[in-house]
Amino acid sequence: MRTLRWVLLGLVLLLGWLQYRLWFGIGSAGEVSALEAQVAHQDRENGGLKERNAALAAEVRDLKEGVAAVEERARSELGMVKPGEVFYRVVEDPAQRAAAAQEEDDPAEAATPAEMD
């Protein structure tokens, strides 16, 4: 009978020690869930970077193979024009630009009394 108590006590202590290791020790359930969350976050980030890399690779391919992409870049970034073309630059009046910006911010304030009828 006394041996059975010692065996039972040993098993209870072993169970307690295993439970402690499961919840608080190295490789515990909380640590595993935190690592799984980190892996999921890294997978999302890697997916976004793969899409970005694919877009950049497509742009490089277009720049190497086609003249349309090179021409578009030259026009937008460098302001270049083809021979025989006329370049027009439209410059807005700063007062009109400020009025348009104010109207976008709060259209109710920018409306005139005639517009409210």
pLDDT (0 to 100) of residue 29 = 79
Phi, psi of 34 (to 5 degrees): -65, -40
Residue corresponding to tokens 């041996």: 3
Interatomic CA distance for residues 5 and 11, integer angstroms:
10
Give the pLDDT confidence score for residue 45 in this predicted structure: 96
How far is 37 from 39, CA to CA, in rounded Å? 5
Cα–Cα distance, 57 to 42 (Å, whole number): 22
> How much is the pLDDT for 87?
80
Query: Running along the chain, 117 residues long, what does each successive block of 10 average in pLDDT?
Result: 89 90 79 92 96 93 81 82 83 83 68 51
What pLDDT is recorded for position 94? 84
Kind plus residue range of the DSSP H or E element containing 58: helix 29-65
Structure tokens at 62: 């277009």
Q: What is the model's pLDDT at position 101?
A: 82
For the chain, which residues make up each domain, given as ranges?
27-105
The pLDDT score that the predictor gives to residue 117 is 47
Q: What is the CA 72 to chain-centroid distance, rounded?
A: 27
User: Which pLDDT belongs to residue 49?
Assistant: 97
CB distance 99 to 110 below 8 Å: yes
